[in-house]
Amino acid sequence: MIKVFIADDEEPARERLKELLGDIAAELPTSVVGEARNGLETLERLPGSGAELLLLDIQMPGMGGLEVARHLGSLPEPPTVVFVTAHDRHAVDAFELNALDYLLKPVRAERLAAALKKASVPDRERLAKAAQSAREYISVSERNRIVLVPVREIIFLRAEQKYVTLRTRNREHLIEEPLVSLEREFAASFIRIHRNCLVARAAIRGFERGADGDDEPHWVVVLDGLEEKLPVSRRQWPALRELVAEK
């Protein structure tokens, strides 16, 4: 018996999937352990539901299916995922290209059965490539729960050995994503100030001369909302100086 969770913003679409699961039950027994009407609801409800498989609509309000799938990756035991979409040429192209499983609505019973049988946990890198835009949240797994940190609340991201520290005004979290890929994804809102550090453009209040006893003078970033000042590497300084001119 596969435990299935259904995420779709349209009630008739969820009903239809349940009907189809009923139709193929003799061949493939399933039980529906939860439902959600949007992305955030999915991330709230799925972790405690015991779901092994997620039927995930791509176009949902609040947070779309692609971003949901990326956050599920931070669970200790993420469910396998089958994406469902009505017609989204861009999504379908991206899926084909990155070998992600998907079903087209209206879904046929045979196709559903086949997809459930070969479903797999989606590959993080493939998901990242299929995504059409930067995430709005970064997920942090806490026990069997997904904590979402809104990207607009992040002040800086700093690589420390194996982890990246994610700093907001009130807290810090550790995430296991390489700084380079974060830099690529959030290029519009973050800027690199040092080999190991990205800062939110919006959080930069200004620059000061570093006041320690080093031989070489250097600059530090003064942040909005945090006392801590971050060193700027000499290599990044020219790009940052231009930013100062813009401000």
Partner 1 sequence: MEARLQALQARIRPHFLFNSLNAVLSLIRRDPKRAERALEDLADVFRTLMSEPRQFVRLADEISLLERYAGIEQLRLGERLRITWELDTAPIDALLPPLVLQPLLENAVFHGVEPGTGAGEVLVRIERRGDRVLARIENPYVADQQRRVGNRMALENIRERLALFFDAEARIDTSADGLRYRVEIEMPYRSEGA
Instruction: Rule CB under 8 A: say whether 111 interacts with partner 1.
Output: no
**List 21, 33, 38, 49, residue binding partner 1 (CB under 8 A):** 38
Instruction: Rule CB under 8 A: say whether 71 interacts with partner 1.
Output: no
Tokens 């008739």 sit at which residue? 12
Backbone angles phi, psi at 234, to 5 degrees: -60, -30
**List 26, 87, 209, 216, residue binding partner 1 (CB under 8 A):** 87
| Alpha-carbon span 200 to 152, nearest angstrom | 8
**List 15, 93, 208, 228, residue binding partner 1 (CB under 8 A):** 15
CB of 186 to partner 1, least distance (A): 16
| Alpha-carbon span 11 to 236, nearest angstrom | 51
CB of 175 to partner 1, least distance (A): 26
**List 29, 31, 48, 86, residue binding partner 1 (CB under 8 A):** 86
CB nearer to partner 1: give 67 or 177.
67
CB of 134 to partner 1, least distance (A): 12
Instruction: Rule CB under 8 A: say whether 133 interacts with partner 1.
Output: yes
Instruction: Rule CB under 8 A: say whether 44 interacts with partner 1.
Output: no
DSSP secondary structure string for all residues of 66-94: HHHHHHHTTSSSPPEEEEEESS-HHHHHH
Helix (H), strand (E) at residue 117? helix 109-118
Is the sign of the CA dihedral 58, 113, 96, 131 positive or negative? Answer: positive
User: Strand, coil or helix: what is 153?
Assistant: helix
Footprint on this chain of partner 1 (rule: CB under 8 A): 9-13, 15-16, 19, 37-38, 40, 59, 61-62, 86-88, 104-107, 133
